[in-house]
Amino acid sequence: MTKAVLIAGTNSGVGKTTVSMGLMASLVKRGMNVQPYKVGPDYIDPSYHTAICKRSSRNLDTFMMGVDGVKKEVARTSVGSEISVIEGVMGLFDGMDSSEIASSAHVAKSLDVPVILVVNVHGMSRSAAAIVKGYAEFDPEVDVAGVILNKVGSKNHTRMITDCIHNIPVVGSLPRNKEISVPSRHLGLHMAFESELDTSELARFIEENVDLDTIIELAREPKTSACPEGDIPTADLKIGVAMDKAFCFYYADMFDEFRRNGADVVFFSPMAGEVPDVDGMYFGGGYPELYPSELEASATTKALKDLSADGMPIYGECGGLQYLSTSYEIDDVTYKMADLFPARTVLTKKLQALGYTEGYAHGPFIKGPVRGHEFHYSITNCDNDAKFTFEMKRGKGIKDGWDGIVEHNSLACYQHAHPMAFPVKAFVDMCRNYKRS
C-alpha cells in the first residue's frame, strides 16, 4: 500500500496549503503517483490537489465519516499511488468544539501517519522551538515527525531556530515569497479552474527549500480498514449534476456513491442553459451570487419548476438552495431564480453560519440521521406554509432549527452532505421510481 504523510499547521494561515500543494507538485514532477487528501469539509483546496496530482482529492473527516470511514476511504482511494499527501485543517489539534474530533490530529492518529508541522516563524527565533516542543508533546499518540519553517528571514534566522529544535528534524525552511499565493474571497480560496497559479514555480520553490527525500523516508503506510470495492452495477438511470462556475462544490465520493447505486452521472451547466435528459438532478454549492444575471436568463432556470411539478427528484445544497428559491437578492437587486420553493434568498455581508451540522431527516424521500456542514453568507426567508424535513440537532439550517425545504419531490438545504453521512441510496431509489412512473 502507499505510504502517507500529513501536512499540518500550528494554526490557520501558516502556509500549510502552499506547502501541501508544493509538495504534491514536486513529487509529481519526480514522476511519482500521488494521492491527495484534505482533512475536513473543504471543496476548494481539493480542486487544486486534483489539478496537480491528476487524481481526485478526497476529504477525510472523522465527524462526517467516522474513524472507520476514514480508514476505508484511504484504503479504497489510494490504490495505485506511491505516496499519499494529506493536507490538514486549521491548527493540528483544532477539532469540533473543544474535542479532537474532525481535527488533523484525529485523522493522523486514526491512520497512524506521521505529521510534518508547518510553523510561521516570522518575528521569532528560539520561541519557535518552544512551539514545536509543545505541539510534539501535547498528544503522545500524534507523531510530529518533522518541521517546516515558513517565512524565514535569512539563513542565519534558520540556523538560530534549527539549533534550538531537538529530536525532530527540520525538513524545510521557506523564505518569504509573496509571489507564491492563491487569491481568496468570502468563501475561501478561488477554485483551481479560476486561478493562474503556476505549479511548476511552486514545485521549484519547494524543491529548493524542502528536503523531499527525508519526507519520503518519514512517510509510512497508514493503518486502514478493508474496503472491498465490489462491482459497479450496470446503470439503469441518470442523475444530472450541475457543474460550472456557479455550481462547483462537490465531493467526488458522492459521484462514486451514485454510480455504486446504479446511476450514471451526467454533468451539465445551468449557466449555459443545459437541460439534460435525466431522472433526477443534484445542485451543489458554489458561487451563484457571482452569476445571477446569467442564471436568471438561463433556459435551465426556466425549465426546473415544471420538472419539479412533474415529480422529478431535485436536490440542492447551499448554492443549490439559493438557486432553487423564488428569487435571490444581491446588493439590493432582486433576480428571479428557479422558483421551486416558496422562499427568497438574500445575500448578506455578514457570515450567517459556519460549522458542522447534525439532524434527522423525516422524509418524504430522505429519512434517517444526516450529518454535514454549513458555510454561507445568505439568509433564506420562507413563506409560513413552507415544509421542512431536516430537524437540526446541531447547526443553524434555514429556519428555527429546521433545514431541508421540500416541495413535490424536490429538496434543498444549507447543509452540505457527505455520502457516508447521508442516505444516498434513498435519493437514487427515488430517481429510479420517477423514471419508472
CB-based burial of residue 408 (10 Å sphere; 0-12 exposed, 13-18 middle, 19+ buried)?
Answer: middle
Radius of gyration for the chain, computed over Cα atoms and rounded to the nearest angstrom? 23
Q: Is residue 86 part of a domain?
A: yes
- CATH number, domain at 429? 3.40.50.880
183 with 304, same domain: the answer is: no
Query: Which whole-number Å values give the CA distances from 265 to 44, 158, 262, 307, 325, in the listed order?
Result: 21, 51, 10, 18, 24
Catalytic entry in 53, 318, 413, 431: 318
- Which three cell numbers mark 222? 497508514
Q: Average model confidence (pLDDT) for the chain? A: 93
Q: Is residue 85 part of a domain?
A: yes
- CATH number, domain at 99? 3.40.50.300
Q: Which of 160, 185, 218 is the last residue of a domain?
A: 218
87 with 141, same domain: the answer is: yes
Q: Which of 158, 187, 218 is the last residue of a domain?
A: 218
Q: What percent of the chain has pLDDT over 70?
A: 95
Q: Is residue 229 part of a domain?
A: no
338 with 432, same domain: the answer is: yes
Q: Is residue 404 part of a domain?
A: yes
Q: What is the DSSP letter of 122?
A: T
Write the pLDDT tens digit of every residue in 312-366.
Answer: 999 999 999 999 999 999 999 999 999 999 999 999 999 999 999 999 999 777 8
Max CA separation in the chain (angstroms): 74
Q: Give the up-direction half-sphere exposure of residue 100: CA atoms within 13 A in the CB hemisphere.
A: 14
Q: Is residue 226 part of a domain?
A: no
Q: What is the DSSP letter of 220?
A: B
Cβ neighbours of residue 311 closer than 8 Å, sequence gap 6 or more: 408, 409, 434, 437
Rounded to whole angstroms, the Cα distance separating 404 from 324 reads: 12
Q: What is the DSSP letter of 344?
A: E
Residue 192's SS3 state is: helix
329 with 182, same domain: the answer is: no
199 with 277, same domain: the answer is: no
Write the pLDDT tens digit of every residue in 129-157.
Answer: 999 999 999 999 999 999 999 999 999 99
Rounded to whole angstroms, the Cα distance separating 47 from 215 reads: 24
Asked, as a colleague might, if the bond just before 233 is cis with ω within 30 of 0, I would say no
191 with 64, same domain: the answer is: yes
Rounded to whole angstroms, the Cα distance separating 27 from 311 reads: 49
174 with 294, same domain: the answer is: no
* Domain span at 140: 3-218
Q: Which of 218, 249, 265 is the last residue of a domain?
A: 218
Report, as an integer, the average pLDDT of 373-399.
Answer: 94
Q: Is residue 310 part of a domain?
A: yes
Question: Is 227 among the residues known to form the active site?
Answer: no
Residue given cell 422558483 in the structure block: 339
Q: Is residue 232 part of a domain?
A: no
Residue 325's SS3 state is: coil
Q: Is residue 227 part of a domain?
A: no
429 with 339, same domain: the answer is: yes
397 with 329, same domain: the answer is: yes
69 with 133, same domain: the answer is: yes
Write the pLDDT tens digit of every residue in 170-213.
Answer: 999 999 887 666 544 444 445 555 455 568 888 999 999 999 99
181 with 258, same domain: the answer is: no
Number of domains composing the chain: 2
209 with 107, same domain: the answer is: yes
